[in-house]
Amino acid sequence: MRSTLIRSGKGFWGRSADELSRLTQIIISSEAIKGPSGPKQLASFKDPDCVEDLKLMTDDEIGGFSTANLQWVPPPAFASTPSSAPAPRAGKSSDKPSTTSSPYITDGYIRFSGNISTQLPPNRPEVTRSGYAAFRTADRKLTIFGRPLWDVDSYAYLAMRVRSDGRSYMVNVQVDSMVAPTDLHQHRLFARRPGQWETIVMPWSGFVRTNHGYVVEPQSELIRTKVSSVGLGLTDRVPGPFEVCVARLWATNNPDEAEEIGPQELKDVEEQAAAESAAAIVSQQQLDSAQSAVSANIPFDSAAPTTTASPPPPSPIAGALKGKDGRPIKWEHDKESS
């Protein structure tokens, strides 16, 4: 019998050396004085082993019946070789999500999918609500300098490259705090193009401090020098399947990154603009015909289609976040909700 080789990650001293190298680079580049020279990557999911650095959570912990999976999806160029992708990390179910790859991404990404159930567990009368699923980056391992944390104090925004199904997801940020270690800072994920890859930018100042889904008063600003984890959750308690894909997360000072689109997305926008232009021409022709008919006192087809303005979008509501009065929390319209 041959023993199985254990391939572990870097040890304590290896992680300490990496942390020392990172701190040294900050000193050499004078980043603390001159400010950041570019965006700061928090998590990238282009490699298959990235799933091992994530933590999956569902209401199974309290006896619920929601299910969730985390699966790494290879780049489109390697989509024909499914053997290169590891088996998904599953919650209570082993349901296999779809394997459709997106042409808008050149690297691998993760797919967070499953099914939300609001069924309450039997024999657990203390559980009065259920129906959630989430994942987050795992706690980073200790080094000689302590547990590494992300310092994003020099950045104004959190950016994510995602493909959403349009459901009400919450971005969850946790900080290293001795006072309230179970608190989360949450922000709605305002997806503007469900089903397509897009970059969503959220201001750090827009995150709301919560505890177990309820807003904490008094509010305190997120401690940007001690960010310990970033994740995504679904707490709208709407039964049914869900699926959201994430390519990477990073801190940035450029709010216009949300406007960047890929070649295929640009083509779609151009085609939509051409269609709208053609519709406008047809509408103008119909208007000209109607005016000519009126001038000549000739009846015209009043049933011809006309263009109407689209109704304004509803105000975004913060999912399951509620204040002390029981009413849902509403955010102001930021750039990402436009």
Helix (H) or strand (E) holding 314: none
Helices (H), the chain: 12-28, 31-34, 263-295
- For the chain, give percent helix, strand, coil, nearest 5: 25, 30, 45
Q: Global pTM?
A: 0.64
Spell out the residues 6+ positions from residue 54 whose beta carbon is closer than 8 angstroms to its own.
Answer: 70, 89, 110, 135, 136, 137, 138
At residue 68, what are phi and psi to the nearest 5 degrees? -155, 150
Tokens at 331, concatenated: 């955010």
- DSSP of 315-328: PPEEEEEE-TTSPE
Going by C-alpha positions, the residue among 181, 175, 186 that lies closest to residue 224 is 175
Half-sphere exposure of 292 (CA within 13 A, CB side): 7
Q: How many CB atoms lie within 10 A of CB 29?
A: 12
pLDDT at 146 (0 to 100): 66
Structural domains in the chain, CATH included, are 12-263+317-337 (2.60.120.430)
Query: How would you class 300 by CB atoms within 10 Å of its CB: exposed for 0-12, middle for 13-18, buried for 19 or more?
Result: middle
CA–CA dist 75, 47 (Å, integer): 10
Tokens at 23, concatenated: 């701190």
The 10s digit of each residue's pLDDT in 181-234 is 889 999 999 999 999 999 999 999 999 999 988 899 888 889 999 999 999 999
Per-residue pLDDT of the chain (338 residues; tens, 9 = 90+): 333 333 445 565 554 555 455 556 555 555 555 567 689 999 999 999 999 999 999 999 999 999 999 999 998 765 444 444 455 555 544 443 333 334 456 789 999 999 999 999 999 999 999 999 999 999 877 667 567 899 999 999 999 999 999 999 999 999 988 777 889 999 999 999 999 999 999 999 999 999 988 899 888 889 999 999 999 999 899 999 999 999 999 999 999 887 655 555 555 545 554 555 555 555 555 655 655 555 555 554 444 444 444 444 444 444 556 665 666 665 554 444 44
170, 232 Cβ separation under 8 angstroms: yes
Tokens at 77, concatenated: 């160029």
CA–CA dist 49, 138 (Å, integer): 13
Query: How would you class 302 by CB atoms within 10 Å of its CB: exposed for 0-12, middle for 13-18, buried for 19 or more?
Result: exposed
CA–CA dist 177, 147 (Å, integer): 13
